[in-house]
Amino acid sequence: MNETFEPQIVAYCCNYCAYAAADLAGSMRLSYPSNVKVIQVPCTGRVDILYLLRAIEDGADGIYVAG
């Protein structure tokens, strides 16, 4: 049992704040782990609880909502 656990994280990022920062990090050639999936949303206020529950049902180990 030498396997290390890598959680699957779904990140809902605001278009104007957090997603812009992630895009800037990409243009600066900075990287983030491959187990983080970034989803762009118009505003974090638009993230419904059903989206979060669906991500958990689909196998996500964690949810990150960034604005």
pLDDT of residue 61: 96
Residues 9, 62 contacting (CB under 8 angstroms): yes
Of 22, 12, 11, nearest to 42 (Cα)? 12
* Boundaries of every domain in the chain: 9-66
Average pLDDT over residues 10-25: 86
The torsion region of residue 13 among left (phi > 0), alpha (psi -120 to 50) and beta comes to beta
pTM: 0.82
Which tokens sit at 61? 């180990």
* pLDDT one-digit tens code per residue, 21-40: 877 877 888 777 889 999 99
